């Protein structure tokens, strides 16, 4: 149950006004995710381990404050009594830790474009996982999209001289994370979910920060006030897009969310190419082109399915 006062508790959109609100929430969420590379780069000289460690602990603190502010501790305690949900969120926490660490590492090592590729192929990986894990049946168009995306990975691997592991780790970790979140369904809202995930990860984050402090040294107290403020904002930077996403998902149809989800990797791609001037050799353009074709095929299938579901069913006389 979403916390009281959370905008995601609003009923589904029934008017143009609510639809515009949902659209604004969705664009806000994916826009913020799209510009995350710039935020992480602004945290220099912090390394990926320190950034992720603080991100975990500060997200936990931020979520605890939100739960307290919305007086949702009672519902959260009820959630804690569900051992199955708590354990599932522990697995989700492990996956999001792998995702966060890989993404921050990719950003700080000049691989923003490859990170964007990971989120471009994530919808296709999600479809693929549906077949492997949930035994779902794919339509011919979905199989076509999966085949094209595999060809794209092969082209990129040949061009790079190695498998684009950053993109694949991001796509599969987030795909599996989404699969696990689907298992808990409506029982765990965005804030409660992130609270449980970061609570599981808090001991690990503490150990990582202690290790960094005893080796390279922590940068949070390096004397630069602006850097300290930015690093302390990691909890809000993590949680706010999730809240906007939850609010948008309640107000917009699945097809609309499906279109808007490409905002984030597209912005990341532009940041990598236009701002950070990462190289884009011909084979990389070909690989990305194939991925975009696969996404186009998948989108066509999604739209066709949505239209078919809206058609009235005519019962035989």
Query: Which range, of 174-178, 235-239, 304-308, 313-317, averages the lowest pLDDT?
Result: 313-317
**Closest alpha carbon to 291 in 133, 149, 137, 138:** 149
User: CA-to-CA distance for 100 and 51, rounded, in angstroms?
Assistant: 9
**Closest alpha carbon to 3 in 227, 225, 190:** 190
Please give the pLDDT value at position 143: 84
Please give the pLDDT value at position 23: 85
Please give the pLDDT value at position 198: 93
**Closest alpha carbon to 181 in 99, 117, 255:** 99
Location of structure tokens 């035994």: 135
User: CA-to-CA distance for 87 and 180, rounded, in angstroms?
Assistant: 11
User: CA-to-CA distance for 177 and 95, rounded, in angstroms?
Assistant: 6
User: CA-to-CA distance for 69 and 240, rounded, in angstroms?
Assistant: 15
pTM exceeds cut of 0.85 = no
**Using the 8-state DSSP alphabet, how is residue 10 labeled?**
S
135: left (phi over 0), alpha (psi -120 to 50) or beta: left
- At 314, is the pLDDT very low, low, confident or very high (cuts 50, 70, 90)? very low
Arithmetic mean of pLDDT over the chain: 83
User: CA-to-CA distance for 302 and 257, rounded, in angstroms?
Assistant: 11
User: CA-to-CA distance for 292 and 148, rounded, in angstroms?
Assistant: 9
What values do phi and psi take at 82, rounded to 5? -90, 95
């Amino acid at each position: 149950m979403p916390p009281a006062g959370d905008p995601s508790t609003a009923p589904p959109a029934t008017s143009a006004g609510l639809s515009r609100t949902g659209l604004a929430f969705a664009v806000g969420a994916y826009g913020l995710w799209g510009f995350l590379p710039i935020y992480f780069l602004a945290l220099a000289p912090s390394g990926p381990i320190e950034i992720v460690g603080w991100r975990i602990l500060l997200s936990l603190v931020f979520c605890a404050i939100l739960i307290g502010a919305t007086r949702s501790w009672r519902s959260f305690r009820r959630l804690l009594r569900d051992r199955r949900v708590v354990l599932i969120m522990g697995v989700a926490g492990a996956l999001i830790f792998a995702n966060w660490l890989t993404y921050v590492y990719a950003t700080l090592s000049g691989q923003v474009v490859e990170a964007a590729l990971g989120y471009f192929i994530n919808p296709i990986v999600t479809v693929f996982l549906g077949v492997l894990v949930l035994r779902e049946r794919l339509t011919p168009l979905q199989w076509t999209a999966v085949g094209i995306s595999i060809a794209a990975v092969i082209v990129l691997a040949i061009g790079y001289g190695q498998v684009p592991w950053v993109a694949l780790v991001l796509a599969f970790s987030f795909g599996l994370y989404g699969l696990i979140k689907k298992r808990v369904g409506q029982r765990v809202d965005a804030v409660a979910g992130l609270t449980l995930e970061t609570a599981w990860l808090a001991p690990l984050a503490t150990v990582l920060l202690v290790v960094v402090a005893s080796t390279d040294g922590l940068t949070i107290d390096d004397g630069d006030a602006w850097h300290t403020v930015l690093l302390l904002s990691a909890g809000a930077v993590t949680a706010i897009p999730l809240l906007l996403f939850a609010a948008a998902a309640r107000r917009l149809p699945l097809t609309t969310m499906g279109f808007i989800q490409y905002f984030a990797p597209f912005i990341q791609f532009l940041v990598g190419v236009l701002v950070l001037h990462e190289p884009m050799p011909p084979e990389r353009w070909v690989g990305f082109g194939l991925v975009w074709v696969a996404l186009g095929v998948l989108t066509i299938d999604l739209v066709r399915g949505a239209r078919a579901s809206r058609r009235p069913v005519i019962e035989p006389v």
